Amino acid sequence: MPDKPIMTWPDLLTRAKPAPDATLRYGDDALQLVDVWVPKGAGPHPAVIMIHGGCWQTAIAERDIMNWIADDLRAHGIGVWNIEYRGVDRGGGMPGTYEDVGRAADLFTAAGAKHGLKVDGVRIAIGHSAGGHLALWLARRPGLAASDALRGADPIRIDLAISQGGLPDLRAGAASTGHACGAEAPAAMARGDYARTSPPEMPLGQARETQFNNDRDRITPPATGAAYSAAMAKRGVTAPMEVTPGEGHVELITPDSVSWGKQRAAILAALGMPTSR
């Protein structure tokens, strides 16, 4: 029997798009925004910080690509803090993208409670593709030097970082040939400073890290996640990877996919919530 075709972007993006409950600003740029998704009922609700991908380029994707899984989490009683940021093509890269992600995530601590979200419980960062790199970076950020502007004075503590087909190794990305994201974007995300920007080379953190990959993903095949797991194992850190067969890159952020079901279950378990309902 031939393999079932993997999803393409129109398969997801042409669906009716759910909407967030509020949008907040964390800066003056048009891209310095956070969408807030709040479950029904009395709070405070557990929540995740979500970071979209798109090869670190605004022209490729913005935060609304994550709306479908944000809505799914909302329906399961989990709030979402969905971050927008400047891509390398919109004033981002090193340091702008990191400044944006850090400020937006820190705003969760300062303002999440006003929107009925629980800010002092288990803190989860989840990111897709290039956003997987940023979720891992956010988890490592507190380990940067106290004087480092990328760290900030009081960076949010992440307890679990989830990479959804992520691209964690900027050095490898900058040296790649023929990759769909190209080499220029990861190079601009590091500008040679891998110890502050690329999780395999950043200071070790306290957060638990886990990866979800799909075996038919043409953007980030399981070998990408396996390389990160191996690199971290050499540093004494376990970064496990769950591989789902028969699915691709789009399925990782599609609410009715097998791979998303596994991710949702991992989030619910980390938050101490029932994994079936």
Q: Whole-angstrom Cα distance, residue 65 to residue 52? A: 7
Instruction: Tokens for 37, please give them.
Output: 């998704």
The pLDDT value given to residue 3: 75
Angle between helices 130-140 and 96-111 (to 10 degrees): 60
The pLDDT value given to residue 275: 81
Instruction: Tokens for 201, please give them.
Output: 């080379």
Q: Report CA-CA distances (Å) from 273 to 45, 47, 267.
A: 11, 12, 9
* C-beta of residue 209 within 8 angstroms of C-beta of residue 161: yes
Q: Whole-angstrom Cα distance, residue 199 to residue 120? A: 25
The pLDDT value given to residue 253: 98
Residue whose entry in the numeric block shows the structure tokens 């999780």: 199
| Tens digit of each residue's pLDDT (9 = 90 or more) over 178-232 | 888 989 999 999 999 999 999 999 999 999 999 999 999 999 999 999 999 999 9
CATH class of the domain comprising 9-270 = alpha beta
Q: Report CA-CA distances (Å) from 260 to 126, 164, 211, 212.
A: 12, 9, 12, 9
Q: Whole-angstrom Cα distance, residue 272 to residue 43? A: 16
The pLDDT value given to residue 13: 97
Q: Which long-range contacts (CB under 8 A, 24 or more apart) does 188-193 make?
A: 188/56, 188/88, 188/93, 188/94, 189/56, 189/88, 189/93, 189/94, 189/97, 189/133, 190/94, 191/93, 191/94, 193/94
| Domain spans of the chain, in order of start | 9-270
pLDDT (tens place) for every residue of the chain, 277 residues total: 457 899 999 999 999 999 999 999 999 999 999 999 999 999 899 999 999 999 999 999 999 999 999 999 999 999 999 999 999 999 999 999 999 999 999 999 999 999 999 999 899 999 999 999 999 999 999 999 999 999 999 999 999 999 999 999 999 999 988 888 989 999 999 999 999 999 999 999 999 999 999 999 999 999 999 999 999 999 999 999 999 999 999 999 999 999 999 999 999 999 999 886 5
Q: In whole angstroms, how large is the CA radius of gyration of the chain?
A: 17
The pLDDT value given to residue 180: 87
The pLDDT value given to residue 277: 55
